Structure 1
Amino acid sequence: MPSENRKNALILSGGGGRGAYHVGVMRFLEEHEWFPDIVAGTSIGAVNGAALASGHNSRSLWALWQRLTTDDVQKTHWNLLEGNYLLDTSPLRNTLQEHGWVNFERLNSAEAAVHLRVTATEINSGQLHVFGNSDDIYPSKMRRENIELNHIIASCSIPIVYPATQLNDTLYWDGATVANTPLGPAIDAGAEEIVVVIMTPWEDDDAGTPELPTPKNILTAASTMLEWALLASFQSDLKMFRRINELVRLQVENARLQATNRLLMAQLRGEELDLEDKDGNGIPDIFEDKFHALPEPIIVAPQKAIPVDRIIRYTRDGHEELFQLGYEDAKRAWRAAGKVVEGEG
């Protein structure tokens, strides 16, 4: 992939009321001078991503989260005989518009702080749609259009829990329904150094499969099922990412071998073959300065499952706990990636 226009990308998974975890991660990254150029978010990740694109940083966003309550996000949908959902998200609409979370004018202008990508799932086809406020670098199916309130609400429309949201005559559910962690859209936008934030325990395939508590009742059974479902799409995306990386490495090495063979054959014939890109030993180094495999994403995730009821519960104490958890997990992931943590030498 072209190494020009290198961009940092922050990928924010869905998780409802657990979104304060994202902000703790952001705080750690900012303290270590790592700032995203691209933010790809699903569900509450789309909300936090839109806030960043509007010019918020972790401190101003955290101030908003500290004031956020359940009543600011949802209310009971009393007439269950009408509609196919349990909770009404009209309070969230008001919160995002009236309480300073998102500035849609800035988000959709040249002054946007980041390249934003949000996802939603088309109900009738199950197809994931990606919406963005800027063009992708690589060919993709991303829809470049002004991001509006309905795009964010659509990305948050958890099936059964919240009502579907209409965009351009089409109904959408939460993007997490099929892709909770949008790795692909970030790469299409030009990402090279990627930090992925997921709110489900994660261990790489090489380290084994994360273990979740054995379900003891219906609630914990639902929690366990949801955690595995949220991980599935990211596991698939990460495997594809690594396969493409390996293909890039093989293509670059093949090009080097072919060029080296041409150089040696020319020397045997007593000819001079000038190759512009060579390493210190005169061996062709073509493509390596233009194309390279992407670094492994830094994956920030909790070590233990976060209770599923946090998805629809927004409390100050809960936000405080999740913020600190996100900060500490980011520190652990940063250290594991071989990067220097301030204060640790």
Structure 2
Amino acid sequence: MSGNSSNGRHGDLAFVMGGGGARAAYQAGVLRYLSRRFPRLQIPIITGVSAGAINAAHLAAHHGTFEQATEELFHMWSNLNVDHVFRTDVGSLSWHVLRWARQLVSGGSRAAPRVRGLLDTDPLRAYLTDAMHAIDGELTGINYNLRMGRLKAVALSTTNYSTGQSVLWVQGQGVKEWERPTRRSRLATLTVEHVLASSALPIVFPAVQIGPHWFGDGGIRLAAPLSPALHLGAGRILAISTRHSPTARQANRPTVTGYPPPAQVAGVMMNSVFLDLLDDDAHRLETINRLLAGLPPEERGGMRPVRLLTVRPSVDLARLANRYEPQLPKAFRFLTRGLGTRQIEAPDFLSMIMFQPDYLAELIRVGEEDAETREGELAALLEPDGKTEISGGRAGSATTMATDGRKAT
């Protein structure tokens, strides 16, 4: 990922890719528009969590320009379908469901089958290995970009199921490990396994073994999605969320009537884990910023401003999912309908596993359009020397934040 420097007096630029399963195709759309507007943009710091780790790893590992990297990412998502992510044949789905059923009625018997994820994601491992040009699983392009000075650090968030800790896997130059009781970082040579671990939706996708421990979706324990970028020294952050910000009226509108089916419960849980936390973290930073604005510089404890711009979908991506649900493979569609997805107007759970080409293409289109709408704000963040600085505002706007890097949570 080569191009013009994005450093200087404004600080290192960081891209933060949030989670959301199949919704991460939206990020590919945003990035594609950015690449046409800023074809040789350089991004020193890239972080990703959940499915956002796929996009983060791809950008960090690509040898070409930003435009070339995003165009290849566009094709990766455009060519993706359900069969590239997990097995959808009747035999495989039935086998996994039956193993789960046997485990549940076994009473903990040692003779019961060991179950992992509800779905077999070996196809995704093969797809990513090929798409990211991995060699023996290693994302060799990351080391190349580090040596060339095009990249400072890339970080992928995971959850250690053995300890319950949030583990941030970092590959970079001049980066030191840090540790807290419930979260820590580890220096590593990133591989496809790290990407799979970060994006392994709990229960649905199997955990991934890295060393002696098993890891799953990084969104489970990552309370502060902006924290990795801050720890790595970001001075400006572009965060791409996959969560639509509803109006008060939209938020109060029920998406299901009667008793909520399992898919609705799962969707609410996944929203709280994977989609809501970025908004909460941005609000926390804005609160700190407002407090610091009332203090003279000498009383700010050495904290430095960090500009944040959050781009999010202008429409509810979950509502779009129902439109394309009939195109899912028959056996998989039968399974999801059994969970009650057809009873819900905006099935968040379905939208996260809706790896259907037409749906993904729609998300990419929405992402491109949303980025175009926000072009002025994006230019102010990415080309601060050529644009008027934007300060203040609500979540989703360009805002001057504050941190000293050492105090980031």
TM-score, scaled relative to structure 1: 0.76
Give the superposition deviation at 1:48: 1.1
| Corresponding residue SS for 2:281 | helix
* Alpha-carbon distance between aligned partners in 1 of 2:250 and 2:149, rounded to the nearest angstrom: 38
Q: In structure 2, which of residues 241, 251, 263 is the aligned counterpart of residue 211 of structure 1?
A: 251
Residue 254 to residue 107, structure 1, CA distance change in 2 (3 Å): closer
Q: Deviations over 1:275-302 (max 9, x none)?
A: xxxxxxxxxxxx9xx9642223333334
Residue 95 to residue 83, structure 1, CA distance change in 2 (3 Å): same
**2:29 is the alignment partner of 1:18:** no
Kept after mapping to 2: 8 A contact 1:40/1:46: yes
| Corresponding residue SS for 2:47 | strand
1:223 match? 267
2:354 match? 313
Give the superposition deviation at 1:179: 2.7
Q: In structure 2, which of residues 352, 365, 373 is the aligned counterpart of residue 332 of structure 1?
A: 373
Give the superposition deviation at 1:210: 6.8
Q: In structure 1, which of residues 127, 130, 145 is the aligned counterpart of residue 188 of structure 2?
A: 145
TM-score, scaled relative to structure 2: 0.65
Give the superposition deviation at 1:220: 3.9
Give the superposition deviation at 1:172: 1.0
Kept after mapping to 1: 8 A contact 2:45/2:229: yes
| Pairing 1:93-108 to 2, within 5 Å after superposition | 93-100=125-132, 102=134, 104-108=139-143
* Alpha-carbon distance between aligned partners in 2 of 1:107 and 1:233, rounded to the nearest angstrom: 28
1:282 match? none
* Alpha-carbon distance between aligned partners in 2 of 1:171 and 1:38, rounded to the nearest angstrom: 26
Kept after mapping to 2: 8 A contact 1:246/1:293: no
User: Cα RMSD over matched residues?
Assistant: 3.3
Kept after mapping to 2: 8 A contact 1:117/1:185: yes
Kept after mapping to 2: 8 A contact 1:249/1:292: no
2:169 match? 131
**2:158 is the alignment partner of 1:120:** yes
Give the superposition deviation at 1:336: 5.9
Percent of paired sites with the same residue: 24
| Pairing 1:37-116 to 2, within 5 Å after superposition | 37-55=44-62, 57-75=69-87, 76=92, 78-79=95-96, 80=99, 81=102, 82-100=114-132, 102=134, 104-109=139-144, 110-111=147-148, 113-114=150-151, 115-116=153-154
Amino acid in structure 1 at the alignment position of 2:310? I
Q: In structure 2, which of residues 23, 27, 32 is the aligned counterpart of residue 27 of structure 1?
A: 32
Amino acid in structure 2 at the alignment position of 1:188? H
Q: In structure 2, which of residues 252, 269, 281 is the aligned counterpart of residue 237 of structure 1?
A: 281
* Alpha-carbon distance between aligned partners in 2 of 1:98 and 1:337, rounded to the nearest angstrom: 32
1:184 match? 227
| Corresponding residue SS for 2:266 | helix
2:363 match? 322
Gaps of 5+ in 2: 1-6, 63-67, 103-113, 180-184, 322-347, 382-409
Gaps of 5+ in 1: 257-286, 341-345
* Larger RCO (alpha carbons 8 Å, 6+ apart): 1
